[in-house]
Amino acid sequence: MDRKLKAVIIVYILVFIIIYGTTLISFSLEYLSLLSHLFISISIVFSLFLLIYIISRYFLEVWSPKQVGWTTKNFSKSFLWASAPLLPFTLSLLIASYIFGTGTVMMWLDIGIEPPYPLWIPLFGIVYWLLGGIIAFSFWQAFSYECLEKYPKKYVIPVISVLFILLYNQPLITGDFNPIDIIWLGIIFLLIYYKFQNSLSLVVSYVFLFEGPVIWCFGVIFGDLVVLIILYIKTIWCIVAVLILIFQYLKNAQKVKEVKNSEI
């Protein structure tokens, strides 16, 4: 068996054990503080990074940040492509805040923490989901793709997508097969990684554009007005991303047309 394939299989077996084991332990506890949640996430990031580093050194005989998509190459392009498909998501939340009220939207995004809320909860929101994004897109998606890059993409991408879906939100024990997470994170984001091989842009998009609970963490401290401002910023940026990609497509199409005309 190919050494890279062995590396992926071993990593995924251990990842499933770590992720599902941690979730089961968390379920057995009556209450977890915000600091406890952060400690668990930091421990998982450290454990998975160490696991991937050791496996890479042993099976691949080399370690590079590129193996988990940590590179500046194609960051801006990847971020644009990750932002544009999130327009329906950000726009729907903005519209819902006017139809149903910002308070209702906050209820939808609630992470289940009881008041009083610490003043640092906005920072918690950013750091917690930043760690989650690193786990999901750098360690699960990027590492697997980089190891299996030489294999046919028609097999590699669906397999990674299915494994991601089975890990994200631990649906085998939570039953949480969220179609939004499956479509945007398990399929669209993976295809964007396939196109640009940059996981950092996906992590940034995930934290600052996709994850609604991050908005909630700001809203409970700064109020409804800040929630609206954040939703407007997200929506406007996604619209800008869509327009930039359309402009680039039209510009490239025009260049192709000019080249064809010059050949006639």
Q: pLDDT tens digits for 3-45?
A: 889 999 999 999 999 999 999 988 887 678 899 999 999 999 9
At residue 264, does pLDDT exceed 70? Answer: no
Q: pLDDT tens digits for 158-174?
A: 999 999 999 999 999 99
At residue 65, does pLDDT exceed 70? Answer: yes
Q: What is the mean pLDDT of residues 242-251?
A: 94
pLDDT at 61: 82
At residue 261, does pLDDT exceed 90? Answer: no
pLDDT at 62: 84
Q: b vs e for 128-158, b when ≥16 Cβ sit within 10 Å of the residue's Cβ?
A: bbbbbbbbbbbbbbbbbbbbbeeeeeeebbe
Tokens standing for residue 162: 């299915």
Tokens standing for residue 17: 């054990």
